[in-house]
Amino acid sequence: MIYHSLKDKNLKASFSTALLSSLAPDGGLYMPDRFPEFTDEQLAYLGALPFHECAGKLARFFVDDKFSQENLDSICADAYDFELPLKTLSGEVLDPALPEPEDEYILELFHGPTLAFKDFAARFMGRATSHLLARSHETRTILVATSGDTGGAIGHAFLNQNGIRVFILFPQGGVSSVQEHQLTSMGENSNVKAIAIDGTFDDCQMLVKQAFADKDLADKHKLMSANSINVGRVIPQSFYCFWTSLQVKAAHPNRPIVYSIPSGNLGNLTGGLIARRMGAPINKFVVGNNANHPFTDYLNTGNYQPCASVPTLSNAMDIGRPNNFPRILALFNHDHEAIAQICHGVHFSDADTERHMFKIYRDHNYIMCPHTAVGHMALEDFASSTQEEYTKVTVSTAHPAKFKDDVERILQMDIPLPPSLQSYVDAPSHKLVIEPTLSALSHVLN
Please report, for the chain, the start and end positions of each structural domain, with discontinuous segments joined by +: 85-111+235-414, 116-232+416-446
Q: How far apart are CA 184 and CA 167, in angstroms?
A: 11
Average confidence (pLDDT) over 221-226: 91
CB contact at 8 A, 390 and 383: yes
The pLDDT of 72-86, averaged and rounded, is 96
Of 434, 423, 39, 60, nearest to 239 by C-alpha is 60
Q: Which residues of 372-402 are buried (b: 16+ CB within 10 A; e: fewer)?
A: bbbbbbbbbbbbeeeeeebbbbbbbbbbbbb
Q: What is the pLDDT confidence band of residue 99, given thresholds at 50, 70 and 90? A: low
Average pLDDT score, the chain: 93
C-alpha torsion angle, residues 54, 60, 63, 69 (rounded to 10)? 100
- How far is C-alpha 355 from the geometric centre of its chain's CA atoms? 25
The helix (H) or strand (E) run that includes residue 4 is strand 2-5
Rounded to 5 degrees, what are φ and ψ at 362? -65, -40
Interval 426-444: pLDDT, tens: 888 899 999 999 999 999 9
Element (H, E) at 380: helix 370-384
Model confidence at 100, pLDDT cuts 50, 70, 90, reads low
Measured distance CA(417)–CA(288) in Å, rounded: 27
pLDDT for the residue 226: 86
Model confidence at 9, pLDDT cuts 50, 70, 90, reads very high
Query: CB-based burial of residue 236 (10 Å sphere; 0-12 exposed, 13-18 middle, 19+ buried)?
Result: buried
Query: Domain 85-111+235-414 class?
Result: alpha beta
pLDDT per residue over 285-307, tens digit each?
Answer: 999 999 999 999 999 999 999 99
Please enumerate in sequence order all residues whose Cβ is within 8 A of that of 189, keeping only pairs 6 or more positions apart, or say none. Answer: none
| Euclidean distance between CA atoms 51 and 83, whole angstroms | 9
For residues 373 and 395, the answer to whether their CB atoms sit within 8 Å is no
The counts of H helices and E strands in the chain are 20, 14
> By the 8 A CB rule, do 168 and 154 touch?
yes
- Residue 169: how many CA atoms within 13 Å on its side-chain side? 31
Say what percent of the chain tops pLDDT 70: 98
pLDDT confidence tier of residue 445, bands split at 50, 70 and 90: very high
Which helix or strand (DSSP H or E) is residue 261 part of? strand 257-262
Is pLDDT at 54 greater than 70 in this prediction?
Answer: yes
CA-to-CA distance for 124 and 131, rounded, in angstroms? Answer: 11
User: Bridge-partner residues for 432, per DSSP?
Assistant: 195
Q: Do domains 85-111+235-414 and 116-232+416-446 have the same CATH topology?
A: yes
pTM, entire model = 0.92
CB neighbourhood size of 254 (10 A): 7
Distance, in Å, from the CA atom of 294 to the CA atom of 336, rounded to the nearest integer, reads 14
Q: How far apart are CA 1 and CA 10, in angstroms?
A: 15
Would you give the DSSP letter of residue 165? E
Indicate if the pLDDT at residue 189 is higher than 90. no
Element (H, E) at 434: strand 432-434
Per-residue pLDDT at 244: 97
Among 83-97, 139-153, 365-379, top mean pLDDT goes to 365-379
pLDDT value of residue 375: 98
Return the number of other C-beta atoms located less than 10 Å from residue 220's C-beta: 13
- CATH number corresponding to 116-232+416-446: 3.40.50.1100
- DSSP secondary structure of 217-238: HHHHHTEEE-STTSHHHHTHHH
pLDDT in the model for residue 71: 97
